[in-house]
């Protein structure tokens, strides 16, 4: 009840004698829609999406630096670049950063920006909650990184296995506590975002946008959000247990008291394996939009793509224990999880074949997004197949915790998710910022990254089979690992160079000519409105009658059944006449939710509580007060500010509720309430 917003609503006429009461709360309602302040208070899903993306790119650079340190250390035997402690911190923070602070928020960026546009909605279901998710994510990320300055970063690996992580003798200092609490905080952000996006997709689709007419990206994001919804509480439980062990002396992982250390592994991987699909499914969705656009063909087997995604979502819950084959589960469990792990390759294979069938006989146009998308397909096949080798338990025992594993999951997460993310970034950049990115620099970026990636992680397969263990700070001379390690290190420098090219491309893009509404001649609704889209997304809510609605408005068949572009297609929204549209009516009656301070204030309370747990309890108390005050400030604040310049609303609703509908209703306004 407290944390709810309404979808954007209609204007209501003013009462003649409207005497406006001041809303309760500490702050005046912010009104700025431009300038830096507007970013702090914005509840626009597009701005929040951009903030997610920008923040994740910064964390990508930081996580990349950590990777460079690791690779520099391993370039030669007996490397002396990092101390062992620093090495442990580098690989722990690298993994944690890339999973929780780069790929997840990157995909949240796409979901936030695109889902409302693709389903024809004005905003997400709960705009303020959406802003809160972003600020909590940022708070969690900054909290995690503040550990470097406040007593040492986490150094137990991104899986933080107990009893290494829970025992204060094995991992002294506060690094592990920073990890535990930081992930709790970002977990809240993911959960809130999952609830928000699920409700948005299920409830706020434009008329005619049935589930089977939704763009495939929306589908894959929806599955990923459901996975988040059910996976996050499991890791929350694990993190709470670990926190209670470390901070308050509980015994959940205390082996001396008879505790079972496998409990951590089970909880972690019941979360962790679905998490893998959380990281890859939206990337699958992205390239399933990119490939049809540049193959000039509809996505082959759309229903199969949907159902295979949903199947992956379900099956992702049945395979977690393949991460634990080496822990002595017993032959029955190992056989069962071997089998389920092999089965999950089936729906993934369906997707691969559907992409290939989409490319088949297409009029392929190898733009930068297309290059990244095709690279994803090929690299994911390698990563997926090396994954299937792990489902064979004897193989797994051999490869366990070697560089083969590192090669495998980088092929999936970097060669898969990150390449998909870059495909999406290049594809939707003109939509988001109104300017094209340079194709030339983009191609240089792609080829450098592609070469660097394969040079870095290809040799790791061999290193792993030769027995080089992961997470070990150095290796002795004469193991036969020198050459492959050197190659991998050079590869990582190439990736770093490609990242610099990408930044150069972004900086330079500001001077590029405007992109226009539909530069790729693409298929989904977001391309029917101007670039960048107006705050209210659509002047007129679109009505959908088929899959790829926008494409079918642009193209029809001539008398001979040949696909031709219609001359008379209708742009849906504010595309001006010079872009082929008719100018739509001005949107002054569309009432968007007002900006709010409360999300950022509320998000501030969480790191305060966490710092308090580590340093002094009065900080926690302060954080708790901030939290409670902002929850109440939030719930007393109407979601649409009557003073925002869009006309008036009935005065009664100012302190009544978020709901404009009840305002004009005499019953709702309290006039028929029993006297009390």
Partner 1 sequence: MSTTEQSTMVVPPGGHEPHAEHAGGGHHTSTGLSNEKMAMWTFLGSECLLFGGLISTFLLYRGKEVVSGPEVRELYDIPFTSVSSFILLMSSLTMVLALSAIQRGNHRQLRTWLLTTALLGSTFVAGQVYEFTAFYREGLGFTTNIQSSAFYVLTGFHGAHVTIGIVMLLSLFVMSHRGSLPTGRSETVEIVGLYWHFVDIVWIIIFTVIYLVP
Pick out residues in 53-72 that bind partner 1 (CB under 8 A). Answer: none
Helix (H) or strand (E) holding 79: none
DSSP class of 563: E
Task: Reply yes or no: is the peptide bond before residue 532 cis, omega within 30 of 0.
Answer: yes
Distance separating alpha carbons of residues 451 and 443, to the nearest angstrom: 12
Report CA torsion sign: 344, 277, 110, 406. Answer: negative
Bridge partner residues of 402 (DSSP): 469
Bridge partner residues of 590 (DSSP): 10
Does 251 sit near partner 1 (CB under 8 A)? yes
Does 13 sit near partner 1 (CB under 8 A)? yes
Does 657 sit near partner 1 (CB under 8 A)? yes
Does 670 sit near partner 1 (CB under 8 A)? yes
User: Of 205 and 410, which has the nearer Cβ to partner 1?
Assistant: 205
Interface residue with partner 1 among 85, 167, 378, 662 (CB under 8 A) is 662
x/- mask, partner 1, residues 576-615, rule CB under 8 A, reads --------xxxx-xx-------------------------
- Options 306-314, 433-441, 524-532, 648-656: segment touching partner 1 (CB under 8 A): 648-656
Does 482 sit near partner 1 (CB under 8 A)? no
Task: Supply the minimum distance, in Å, between the C-beta of residue 495 and partner 1.
Answer: 36
Task: Supply the minimum distance, in Å, between the C-beta of residue 92 and partner 1.
Answer: 24
Distance separating alpha carbons of residues 88 and 348, to the nearest angstrom: 34
Interface residue with partner 1 among 35, 248, 478, 558 (CB under 8 A) is 248
Interface residue with partner 1 among 39, 161, 240, 569 (CB under 8 A) is 240
- Options 149-157, 201-209, 292-300, 447-455: segment touching partner 1 (CB under 8 A): 201-209
Distance separating alpha carbons of residues 490 and 488, to the nearest angstrom: 5
- Options 190-198, 370-378, 504-512, 560-568: segment touching partner 1 (CB under 8 A): 190-198
User: Of 238 and 291, which has the nearer Cβ to partner 1?
Assistant: 238
Nearest to 163 by CA among 311, 265, 19: 265
User: Of 568 and 674, which has the nearer Cβ to partner 1?
Assistant: 674
Task: Supply the minimum distance, in Å, between the C-beta of residue 251 and partner 1.
Answer: 5
Pick out residues in 512-541 that bind partner 1 (CB under 8 A). Answer: 539-541
Interface residue with partner 1 among 238, 463, 592, 640 (CB under 8 A) is 238
- Options 282-290, 459-467, 471-479, 665-673: segment touching partner 1 (CB under 8 A): 665-673
Task: Reply yes or no: is the peptide bond before residue 596 cis, omega within 30 of 0.
Answer: no
Pick out residues in 265-304 that bind partner 1 (CB under 8 A). Answer: 267
Q: Give the interface size with partner 1 as a residue count (CB under 8 A).
A: 80
Does 643 sit near partner 1 (CB under 8 A)? no
Interface residue with partner 1 among 137, 252, 427, 502 (CB under 8 A) is 252
Distance separating alpha carbons of residues 21 and 415, to the nearest angstrom: 56
CB atoms within 10 A of CB 262: 16
- 155, 161, 163, 168 alpha-carbon torsion, rounded to 10°: 30
- Exposure letters 295-319 (e unless 16+ CB within 10 A, then b): bebebbbbebbbebbbbbbebbebb
Does 202 sit near partner 1 (CB under 8 A)? yes
User: Of 3 and 164, which has the nearer Cβ to partner 1?
Assistant: 3
- Options 157-165, 240-248, 501-509, 519-527: segment touching partner 1 (CB under 8 A): 240-248
Distance separating alpha carbons of residues 144 and 101, to the nearest angstrom: 10
Does 233 sit near partner 1 (CB under 8 A)? yes
What radius of gyration, in Å, describes the C-alpha atoms of the chain?
A: 26
Task: Supply the minimum distance, in Å, between the C-beta of residue 240 and partner 1.
Answer: 7
User: Of 15 and 298, which has the nearer Cβ to partner 1?
Assistant: 15
User: Of 204 and 280, which has the nearer Cβ to partner 1?
Assistant: 204
Does 673 sit near partner 1 (CB under 8 A)? yes
CB atoms within 10 A of CB 196: 26
User: Of 338 and 639, which has the nearer Cβ to partner 1?
Assistant: 639
Does 323 sit near partner 1 (CB under 8 A)? no
Helices (H), 249-344: 262-295, 302-315, 331-343
Does 625 sit near partner 1 (CB under 8 A)? no
Does 12 sit near partner 1 (CB under 8 A)? yes
User: Of 385 and 540, which has the nearer Cβ to partner 1?
Assistant: 540
Nearest to 356 by CA among 341, 369, 368, 373: 373
Nearest to 291 by CA among 219, 223, 376: 376
671's CB contacts (< 8 A; 6+ apart) are none
Distance separating alpha carbons of residues 249 and 230, to the nearest angstrom: 28
Backbone angles phi, psi at 57, to 5 degrees: -65, -40
Task: Supply the minimum distance, in Å, between the C-beta of residue 602 and partner 1.
Answer: 15
Residue 224 Cα distances to 411, 447, 541, 564, angstroms: 20, 29, 27, 36
User: Of 61 and 628, which has the nearer Cβ to partner 1?
Assistant: 628
Q: Are 18 and 97 in contact (CB under 8 A)?
A: no
Q: Are 491 and 454 in contact (CB under 8 A)?
A: yes
Does 19 sit near partner 1 (CB under 8 A)? no
Nearest to 442 by CA among 506, 362, 530, 388: 506
Task: Supply the minimum distance, in Å, between the C-beta of residue 133 and partner 1.
Answer: 13
Q: In a 3-state reduction of DSSP, which class is residue 427?
A: helix
Report CA torsion sign: 49, 54, 57, 59. Answer: negative
Distance separating alpha carbons of residues 88 and 82, to the nearest angstrom: 9
Task: Supply the minimum distance, in Å, between the C-beta of residue 656 and partner 1.
Answer: 5
- Options 27-35, 45-53, 230-238, 424-432: segment touching partner 1 (CB under 8 A): 230-238
Helix (H) or strand (E) holding 436: none
Q: What length does the chain have?
A: 676
Q: Are 125 and 199 in contact (CB under 8 A)?
A: yes
x/- mask, partner 1, residues 154-183, rule CB under 8 A, reads ------------------------------
DSSP class of 556: E
- Options 172-180, 475-483, 499-507, 651-659: segment touching partner 1 (CB under 8 A): 651-659
CB atoms within 10 A of CB 68: 18
Pick out residues in 87-106 that bind partner 1 (CB under 8 A). Answer: none
- Options 49-57, 105-113, 351-359, 666-674: segment touching partner 1 (CB under 8 A): 666-674
Interface residue with partner 1 among 35, 258, 478, 513 (CB under 8 A) is 258
Pick out residues in 115-144 that bind partner 1 (CB under 8 A). Answer: 125-126
Task: Supply the minimum distance, in Å, between the C-beta of residue 676 and partner 1.
Answer: 6
Distance separating alpha carbons of residues 654 and 667, to the nearest angstrom: 16
Does 234 sit near partner 1 (CB under 8 A)? yes
User: Of 4 and 146, which has the nearer Cβ to partner 1?
Assistant: 4
Does 430 sit near partner 1 (CB under 8 A)? no
Interface residue with partner 1 among 247, 263, 342, 535 (CB under 8 A) is 263
Does 194 sit near partner 1 (CB under 8 A)? yes
């Amino acid at each position: 009840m407290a944390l709810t917003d309404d979808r954007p609503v209609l204007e209501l006429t003013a009462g003649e004698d409207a005497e406006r009461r001041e809303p309760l709360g500490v702050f005046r309602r912010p009104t700025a829609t431009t300038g830096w302040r507007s970013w702090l208070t914005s509840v626009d899903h597009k701005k929040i999406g951009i903030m997610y993306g920008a923040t994740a790119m910064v964390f990508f650079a930081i996580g990349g630096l950590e990777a460079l340190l690791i690779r520099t250390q391993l370039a030669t035997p007996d490397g002396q670049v990092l101390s062992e402690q620093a090495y442990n911190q580098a690989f722990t923070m690298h993994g944690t950063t890339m999973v929780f602070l780069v790929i997840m928020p990157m995909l949240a960026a796409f979901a936030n920006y695109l889902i409302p546009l693709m389903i024809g909605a004005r905003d997400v279901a709960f705009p303020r909650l959406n802003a809160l998710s972003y600020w909590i994510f940022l708070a969690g990320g900054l909290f995690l990184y503040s550990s470097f300055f406040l007593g040492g970063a986490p150094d137990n690996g991104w899986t933080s296995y107990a009893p290494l992580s829970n025992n204060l003798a094995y991992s002294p200092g506060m690094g592990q506590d920073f990890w535990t609490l930081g992930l709790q905080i970002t977990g809240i952000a993911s959960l809130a975002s999952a609830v928000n996006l699920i409700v948005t997709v299920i409830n706020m689709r434009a008329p005619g946008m049935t589930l089977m007419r939704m763009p495939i990206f929306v589908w894959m994001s929806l599955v990923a959000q459901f996975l988040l919804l059910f996976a996050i509480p499991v890791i929350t439980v694990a993190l709470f247990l670990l926190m209670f062990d470390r901070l308050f002396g509980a015994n959940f992982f205390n082996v001396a008291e008879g505790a079972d250390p496998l409990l951590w592994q089970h909880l972690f991987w019941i979360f962790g394996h679905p998490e893998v699909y959380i990281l890859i499914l939206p990337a699958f969705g992205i390239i399933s939009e990119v490939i049809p656009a540049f193959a000039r063909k509809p996505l082959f087997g759309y229903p199969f793509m949907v159902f295979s995604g949903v199947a992956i979502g379900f099956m992702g819950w049945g395979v977690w224990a393949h991460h634990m084959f080496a822990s002595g589960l017993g032959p029955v469990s190992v056989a069962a999880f071997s089998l389920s792990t092999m089965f999950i390759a089936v729906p993934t294979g369906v997707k691969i074949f559907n992409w290939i069938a989409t490319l088949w006989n297409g009029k392929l146009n190898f733009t930068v997004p297309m290059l990244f998308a095709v690279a994803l397909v090929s690299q994911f096949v390698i990563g997926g197949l090396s994954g299937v080798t792990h489902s064979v338990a004897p193989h797994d025992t051999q490869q366990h915790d070697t560089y083969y594993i590192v090669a495998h999951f980088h092929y999936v997460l970097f060669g898969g998710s990150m390449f998909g993310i870059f495909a999406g970034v290049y594809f939707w950049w003109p939509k988001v910022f109104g300017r094209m990115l340079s194709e030339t620099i983009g191609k240089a970026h792609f080829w450098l990254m592609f070469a660097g990636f394969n040079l870095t992680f290809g040799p790791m397969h061999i290193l792993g089979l030769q027995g080089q263990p992961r997470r070990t700070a150095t290796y002795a001379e004469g193991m036969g690992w020198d050459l492959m390690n050197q190659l991998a290190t050079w590869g990582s420098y190439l990736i770093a160079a490609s990242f610099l090219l990408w930044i150069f491309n972004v900086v330079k893009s500001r001077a590029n000519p405007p992109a226009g509404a539909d530069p790729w001649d693409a298929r989904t609704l977001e391309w029917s409105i101007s670039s960048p889209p107006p705050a209210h997304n659509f002047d007129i809510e679109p009505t959908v009658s088929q899959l790829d609605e926008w494409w079918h408005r642009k193209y029809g068949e001539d008398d001979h059944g040949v696909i031709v572009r219609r001359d008379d297609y209708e742009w849906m929204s504010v595309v001006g006449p010079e872009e082929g549209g008719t100018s739509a009516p001005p949107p002054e009656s569309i009432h968007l939710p007002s900006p709010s301070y409360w999300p950022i204030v509320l998000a501030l309370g969480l790191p305060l509580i966490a710092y308090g747990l580590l340093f002094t309890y009065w900080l926690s108390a302060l954080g708790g007060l901030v939290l409670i005050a902002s929850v109440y400030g939030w719930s007393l604040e109407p979601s649409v500010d009557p003073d925002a310049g869009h006309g008036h609303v009935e005065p009664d609703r100012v302190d009544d509720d978020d709901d404009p509908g009840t305002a004009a209703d005499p019953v709702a306004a309290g006039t028929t309430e029993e006297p009390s």
